[in-house]
Amino acid sequence: MNGLFRGTGVALVTPFDDRFQIDWSALDRLIDYCLQGGVDFLVVMGTTAESATLSLDEKTKLARHVVSTVAGRVPLVYGWGGNNTAELISGFESFDLSGYAALLSVAPYYNKPTQKGLRMHFEAVADAAPLPILLYNVPGRTASNLTAETTLILAQHPKIVGIKEASGDLTQITRILMGRPEGFGVLSGDDNLTFSMMGLGAEGVISVMAQLEPRIFSDMVRALESGDGDRARTLHFALFETTELLFAEGNPAGVKAGLAHKGLIAPQVRLPLVEASAELKTRIGAHLDRMAQTL
């Protein structure tokens, strides 16, 4: 895999103001906070960004704004997925992807394609794409699992360079790691499985939690990379319960509540999502305060 995509990647949220418009200054604060915390790359317009609720104009402005704010400090990945293959391909003609190093492409959702359909979809997108492709398998959201066998076929495509694996199935993930060709990277798509997946040989993670605790999460990943399992395990255990809370009422409501507790952004999400409950906000805040005092 391209060496740019190792270590800790962050799946950025899209901050909104009290009118549910993009809060550009909050986005800048969040980006700087992540980079100062030591993350290795950023992912723009993934699931955590509430991309399903953003207009094309908002996506275009956000893509350019992040490039400007980051100013080359870390590599950038742009989320480019959907369930209309032809529309994804035609979009390459007009969307400005300059400043991005790769595309993260989620498996088609709702249609529930067969494995042959998934393979042909990704091959068609990769053939047309101006950038390398990272596959994104998250069957809990898409209702279609990209099997290890299909992933390994797609790994032979010269423009498909890796996968964000969020199936939660360590047997499937192990088969991908055992069978992958040289240069095909595997990234965790589940924060609390990062420790296990990197122990099996994965290169890193695209994380939600890492934008909330970038220093701690990045330190855990670097400890794993350096072979310091004891240090990594200590940090994994410290992060574990807070990370579970972030997803208790859906993503990104939980992480936005945590970021609001830190004063970085407001907690607003767009419908059909709703803010985290007052009880969950309190619990997340308590866990974050505890980590701040102990780590």
Q: What are the catalytic residues?
A: 136, 164
182 CB-contact burial (10 Å; exposed 0-12 / middle 13-18 / buried 19+): exposed
Residue tagged 């992933």 (tokens): 151
Contacts of 207 (CB under 8 A, 6+ apart): 8, 9, 10, 11, 188, 191, 194, 217
| Cis peptide bond N-terminal to 158, omega within 30 | no
| Cis peptide bond N-terminal to 252, omega within 30 | yes
Pairing of strands 204-207, 76-79: unpaired
Pairing of strands 133-137, 160-165: parallel
**What is the rounded distance in angstroms from the CA atom of residue 26 to the CA atom of residue 84?**
32
Q: Can you read off the two tokens belonging to residue 206?
A: 């695209």
**What is the rounded distance in angstroms from the CA atom of residue 72 to the CA atom of residue 66?**
10
Outline where the chain has alpha helix (H): 24-36, 56-70, 85-91, 115-128, 139-142, 148-154, 170-179, 194-200, 214-226, 229-246, 253-261, 278-294
